[in-house]
């Protein structure tokens, strides 16, 4: 199964590298969202600093929607989905590979977003403990988002109205991630919270990620079967 | 669940009519207890009577979506895969939305009367209910998309399980949202006031009555769905005959 | 000898439309069967059913001893299908596509390269992104991916379309070699003159049923390159 996952992940990332959709479309979108927020909130530096984590995660969630729509894009263009069904690759491995590729792309996006936020919104830099919490939070939350995103990507692969349907499907589900990740990042940066406050939130994120990864592994078979 | 007789229109049978009568009786019982026999609350006055509708509605919403999730699992599991599970899941979700809406409206009304405003983001239960509503609106929207029965069933089943798994996560995150490092002196007028005695019994009556209503609605909605499915299947013989009668050289749909 | 394809009164629905309205046919190993019939007769549906991609509502359908209801994964690597679309990733090169699909089904690099060469995709052509190849070249790449997996049952849906004469010759050679090696080929085609030389048997499909079943009067010329 891991071999399948690596094969599929490698393929997805290579496609992404070639087409550069992430760099050319999704990243500017996320940046634009941040700029919009800055304007809407009147650009007051201290206000922005406090709401930075929440806004950054909202930008991530909106980018996730784009990512989900693309997740099975290469497969649907030329009928590769059928070929995937006939290839004998185990669905659980395909899920793992695709989710890993999506997670990697989201992590890259998140890192760049974080740099952009640090430069333009100006929160204070975290201490060592803060960095640990920050990195853990981002990794766990992003993996959870990628898992849910990949499941929905497969689910909606054949649907034509999915651009308008996906938000109502995906956004309510990832609400806990928004809440937990925002609070954890706030704690890591010392915004209205202590560092130790972060750990229950990280725990919640871990449960979310584990639950949906498990569901993805189990449910991908039936999802891939659909014609 | 016996199928309806074909001679009379409608989806009623003797069994479901008895159930309906029981449900009505339960509702009547609830009205008696809720409005007449239970006292007004010292603090909240008569607005506490909204609880007799709000709490049962919320319970039924969870029950209905739980049924949806369970049926989704049964459908996905190969050994028990059958479109009947998918059908029941869909019916239960629709009814669940009804109860969720009711819970939201009564909750917001109670909030207006008690707090002076309709919404409070710090109230874990109300916010969770609102998110529950959104989650299953998405589910029902997904079901409405035209697709082959098994394709639609698989999609809906996975979406239903995702939604239901999310509920405890949502609840926990919203509850911690305000309380986790907040000072305990912040007063929150809870949607679960201290109630006991007759008031608690009234809530219990409400739950029983609403459960009967739910089952009755489910039975009938399911029968309607079964009839729809039967209608589609019945068209198959006709379609087969037409298809076989195609002369050589005509163009038809599909290939 | 066990039949490769065994259908009895199979009915397959596309939506509510009975694309196959009761197909009964048995195909043994080593046969090269041509499906002909008007547009909309159900040829594509029949091929997809044999690949395990479609559920049936009536009758029985067994391919290589496996009930098609178990899906494409149960048949996994033993069946190869080439539909109207190519099943390739447009952003990857022809060689990268073969690498992925080859590894997915366990074909070695040598086999992948040999398959590409047999279809005339070599050298610099193999290093071009598939999206930039002509339709005929894409078709050849897709055929190479199919050939590399050496399936026991070849299912081809109008494979000659888009190919030039050289491509068609190569394809015919491939099919003959496959049959000589013991595989079974079922192909749907409108190009009856060309396939007449190949086929051992011709099935005529009209209105979702088999209305004609003729054995070739002359056995097809054998030969061609080994793949």
B166-224 tens-digit pLDDT: 999 988 888 887 765 443 333 444 445 555 677 778 888 888 889 988 998 998 899 88
> What pLDDT sits at residue B40?
66
A104-144 tens-digit pLDDT: 999 999 998 888 888 777 667 777 778 888 899 999 999 99
CB B111 within 8 A of CB B126: yes
B121 contacts: CB under 8 Å, gap ≥ 6:
B127, B177, B178
- Sort residue B10 into left (φ over 0), alpha (ψ -120 to 50) or beta: left
Cα–Cα distance measured from residue B13 to residue C204, given in angstroms and rounded to the nearest whole number = 51
Cα–Cα distance measured from residue B213 to residue C112, given in angstroms and rounded to the nearest whole number = 64
Closest approach of A4 to chain C, Cα-based (Å):
7
In Å, how far are A86, A100, A158 from A224, measured between CA atoms? 11, 17, 11
Closest approach of B250 to chain C, Cα-based (Å):
7
Measure CB to CB from residue B243 to each of C21, C39, C44 and give the nearest one: C21
B68 — pLDDT class (breaks 50, 70, 90): very high
> What pLDDT sits at residue C114?
86
B112-128 tens-digit pLDDT: 887 788 887 777 888 88
Q: Which residues of B touch A193 (CB under 8 A)?
A: 181
> What pLDDT sits at residue B137?
94
- Asked if C40 and B232 come within 8 Å (Cβ–Cβ), the reply is no
Of A209-223, B28-42, B201-215, C48-62, which one has max mean pLDDT?
Answer: A209-223
> What pLDDT sits at residue A226?
67
B6 — pLDDT class (breaks 50, 70, 90): low
Query: What's the mean per-residue pLDDT of chain B?
Result: 80
In Å, how far are A92, A188, B46, B197, B202 from B35, measured between CA atoms? 56, 52, 9, 15, 10
C117-142 tens-digit pLDDT: 888 888 888 888 888 888 888 999 99
The mean pLDDT value for C14-37 works out to 87
> Exposed, middle or buried, B116 (CB in 10 Å: 0-12/13-18/19+)?
exposed
Note the maximum CA span of chain B. Answer: 84
DSSP secondary structure string, A100-146?
HHHHHHHHHHHHHHHHHHHHHT-PPPP-HHHHHHHHHHHHHHHHHHH
Q: Which residues of A touch C52 (CB under 8 A)?
A: 86
B12 contacts: CB under 8 Å, gap ≥ 6:
B4, B20, B220
* ipTM rounded to 2 decimals: 0.88
> What pLDDT sits at residue B112?
84
Element (H, E) at B128: helix B124-143
Cα–Cα distance measured from residue C92 to residue B247, given in angstroms and rounded to the nearest whole number = 45
Of residues A152, A171, A150, A144, the one with CA closest to residue A61: A171
What torsion, rounded to 10 degrees, do the Cα atoms C149, C153, C154, C155 define?
A: -130
Phi and psi torsions of C154, nearest 5°: -100, 125
Cα–Cα distance measured from residue C105 to residue A83, given in angstroms and rounded to the nearest whole number = 11
Closest approach of C221 to chain A, Cα-based (Å):
31
> What pLDDT sits at residue C225?
40
User: Chains that contact C by 3+ CB pairs under 8 Å?
Assistant: A, B
Measure CB to CB from residue A172 to each of B134, B150, B181 and give the nearest one: B134
Closest approach of A3 to chain C, Cα-based (Å):
9
- Asked if C85 and A89 come within 8 Å (Cβ–Cβ), the reply is no
Measure CB to CB from residue C16 to each of B232, B247, B249 and give the nearest one: B232
Measure CB to CB from residue B235 to each of C16, C45, C208 and give the nearest one: C16
User: Chains that contact A by 3+ CB pairs under 8 Å?
Assistant: B, C
> What pLDDT sits at residue A96?
94
Closest approach of B147 to chain A, Cα-based (Å):
9
- Asked if A74 and C90 come within 8 Å (Cβ–Cβ), the reply is yes
Measure CB to CB from residue A86 to each of C72, C89, C103 and give the nearest one: C72
Q: Which residues of C touch B150 (CB under 8 A)?
A: 55
Provide the 10 A C-beta neighbour count for residue B133. Answer: 18
> What pLDDT sits at residue B9?
65
- Asked if A219 and B137 come within 8 Å (Cβ–Cβ), the reply is no
Phi and psi torsions of B153, nearest 5°: -65, -40
Q: What b/e string do you get for C124-135 counting C-beta neighbours within 10 Å, with b at 16 or more?
A: ebbeebbbebee
- Asked if B254 and C13 come within 8 Å (Cβ–Cβ), the reply is no
Cα–Cα distance measured from residue A115 to residue A113, given in angstroms and rounded to the nearest whole number = 5
A54 contacts: CB under 8 Å, gap ≥ 6:
A178, A182
> What pLDDT sits at residue B194?
56
- Sort residue A131 into left (φ over 0), alpha (ψ -120 to 50) or beta: alpha
> What pLDDT sits at residue C40?
82
> What pLDDT sits at residue C108?
85
B45 contacts: CB under 8 Å, gap ≥ 6:
none
Cα–Cα distance measured from residue B108 to residue B57, given in angstroms and rounded to the nearest whole number = 13
- The answer on pLDDT for B253 being more than 50 is no
Among chain C residues, the shortest Cα distance to B243 is held by: C207
Q: Which residues of C touch B148 (CB under 8 A)?
A: 13-15
C72-92 tens-digit pLDDT: 787 878 899 998 888 899 888
CB C22 within 8 A of CB C58: yes
- Asked if C92 and A14 come within 8 Å (Cβ–Cβ), the reply is yes
Of residues B136, B143, B61, the one with CA closest to residue B103: B61
Spans in chain A with pLDDT lower than 50: none
Continuous H helices in chain A? 2-19, 21, 27-40, 45-71, 73-77, 80-86, 91-120, 128-155, 162-173, 175-189, 198-225
First CA to last CA across chain A, in angstroms? 23
Q: Which residue has the higher pLDDT, C145 or C106?
A: C145
Cα–Cα distance measured from residue A116 to residue A22, given in angstroms and rounded to the nearest whole number = 16
Strand, coil or helix: what is C213?
strand
Cα–Cα distance measured from residue A98 to residue A81, given in angstroms and rounded to the nearest whole number = 13
Query: What's the mean per-residue pLDDT of chain C?
Result: 85
Q: Which of C70, C74, C207 to mutate to test the interface with B (most CBs of B within 10 A)?
A: C207
DSSP-assigned beta bridge partners for residue C12:
C20
- Sort residue C201 into left (φ over 0), alpha (ψ -120 to 50) or beta: beta
Measure CB to CB from residue B135 to each of A155, A173, A180 and give the nearest one: A173
Of residues C103, C150, C97, C104, the one with CA closest to residue C121: C97
Element (H, E) at B222: helix B198-244
Measure CB to CB from residue C89 to each of A74, A82, A227 and give the nearest one: A74
Q: Which of B173, B178, B181 to mutate to test the interface with A (most CBs of A within 10 A)?
A: B173
The mean pLDDT value for C190-197 works out to 80
- Asked if A78 and C85 come within 8 Å (Cβ–Cβ), the reply is yes
User: Cα A133 to the chain's mean position, in Å?
Assistant: 18
Continuous H helices in C54-181? 72-75, 94-105, 109-118, 135-148, 165-180
> What pLDDT sits at residue C1?
56
> What pLDDT sits at residue A117?
82
In Å, how far are A21, A111, B60, B131 from A25, measured between CA atoms? 5, 16, 44, 30
Chain A within 8 Å of C88 (Cβ-Cβ)? yes
> What pLDDT sits at residue B4?
44
Element (H, E) at B238: helix B198-244
Interface of B with C (CB under 8 A): 148, 150, 232, 235-236, 239-240, 243-255
Of residues C183, C158, C138, C157, the one with CA closest to residue C27: C183
Closest approach of B221 to chain A, Cα-based (Å):
24
> What pLDDT sits at residue B12?
74
Of B11-25, B60-74, B168-182, B196-210, which one has max mean pLDDT?
Answer: B60-74
């Amino acid at each position: 199964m891991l071999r399948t996952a690596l094969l599929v992940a490698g393929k997805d990332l290579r496609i992404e590298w070639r087409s550069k959709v992430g760099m050319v479309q999704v990243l500017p979108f996320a940046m634009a969202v941040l700029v919009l927020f800055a304007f809407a909130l009147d650009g007051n530096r201290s206000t922005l600093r406090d709401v930075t984590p929440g806004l950054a995660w909202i930008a991530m969630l909106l980018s996730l929607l784009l990512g989900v729509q693309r997740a099975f894009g290469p497969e649907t263009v030329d009928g590769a989905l059928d070929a995937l069904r006939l290839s004998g690759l185990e669905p659980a491995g395909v899920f793992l590979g695709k989710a890993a590729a999506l997670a990697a792309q989201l992590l890259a996006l998140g890192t760049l977003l974080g740099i952009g936020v640090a430069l333009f919104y100006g929160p204070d830099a975290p201490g060592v403990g803060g960095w640990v919490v920050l990195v853990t939070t981002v990794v766990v939350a992003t993996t959870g988002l990628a898992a849910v995103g990949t499941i929905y990507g497969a689910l909606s692969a054949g649907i034509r109205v999915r651009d308008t349907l996906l938000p109502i499907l995906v956004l309510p589900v990832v609400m806990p991630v928004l809440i937990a990740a925002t609070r954890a990042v706030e704690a890591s940066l010392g915004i209205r919270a202590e560092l130790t406050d972060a750990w229950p939130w990280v725990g919640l994120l871990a449960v979310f990620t584990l639950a949906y990864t498990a569901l993805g592994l189990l449910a991908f078979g039936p999802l891939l079967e659909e014609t | 669940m016996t199928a309806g007789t074909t001679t009379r229109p409608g989806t009623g049978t003797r069994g479901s009519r008895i159930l309906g009568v029981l449900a009505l009786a339960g509702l009547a019982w609830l009205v008696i207890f809720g409005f007449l026999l239970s006292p007004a609350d010292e603090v909240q006055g008569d607005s506490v009577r909204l609880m007799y509708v709000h709490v049962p509605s919320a319970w039924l919403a969870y029950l209905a979506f739980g049924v949806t999730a369970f049926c989704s699992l049964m459908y996905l599991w190969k050994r028990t895969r059958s479109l009947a599970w998918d059908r029941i899941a869909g019916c239960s979700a629709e009814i669940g939305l009804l109860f969720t809406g009711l819970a939201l409206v009564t909750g917001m009304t109670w909030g207006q009367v008690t707090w002076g405003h309709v919404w409070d983001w710090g109230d874990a239960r109300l916010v969770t209910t609102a998110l529950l509503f959104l989650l299953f609106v998405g589910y029902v929207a997904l079901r409405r998309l035209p697709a082959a029965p098994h394709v639609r069933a698989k999609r809906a089943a996975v979406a239903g399980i995702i939604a239901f798994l999310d509920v405890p996560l949502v609840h926990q995150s919203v509850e911690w949202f305000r309380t986790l490092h907040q000072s305990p002196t912040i007063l929150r007028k809870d949607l679960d006031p201290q109630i006991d005695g007759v008031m608690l019994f009234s809530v219990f009556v409400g739950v029983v009555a609403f459960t009967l209503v739910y089952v009755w609605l489910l039975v009938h909605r399911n029968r309607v769905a079964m009839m729809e499915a039967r209608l589609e299947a019945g068209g198959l013989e006709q379609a087969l005959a037409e298809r076989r009668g195609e002369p050589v050289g005509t163009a038809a749909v599909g290939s | 000898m066990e039949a490769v394809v065994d259908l009895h009164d199979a009915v397959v629905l596309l939506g509510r439309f009975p694309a196959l309205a009761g197909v009964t046919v048995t195909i043994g190993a080593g046969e090269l069967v041509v499906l002909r019939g008007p547009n909309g007769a159900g040829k594509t549906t029949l091929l997809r059913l044999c690949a395990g991609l479609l559920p049936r509502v009536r009758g029985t359908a067994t391919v290589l001893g496996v009930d098609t209801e178990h899906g494409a994964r149960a048949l996994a690597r033993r069946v190869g299908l080439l539909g109207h679309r190519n099943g390739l990733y447009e952003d990857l090169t022809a060689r990268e596509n073969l690498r992925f699909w080859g590894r997915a089904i366990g074909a070695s690099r040598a086999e992948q390269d040999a398959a590409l060469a047999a279809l005339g995709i070599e050298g610099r052509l193999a290093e071009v992104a598939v999206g930039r190849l002509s339709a005929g070249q894409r078709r050849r790449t897709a055929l190479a991916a199919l050939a590399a997996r050496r399936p026991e049952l070849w299912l081809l849906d109008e494979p000659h379309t888009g190919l030039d004469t050289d491509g068609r010759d190569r394809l015919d050679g491939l099919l003959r070699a496959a049959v000589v090696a013991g595989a079974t080929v079922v192909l749907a085609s409108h190009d009856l003159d060309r396939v007449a030389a190949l086929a051992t048997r011709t099935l005529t499909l009209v209105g979702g049923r088999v209305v004609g079943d003729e054995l070739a009067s002359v056995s097809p010329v054998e030969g061609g390159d080994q793949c």
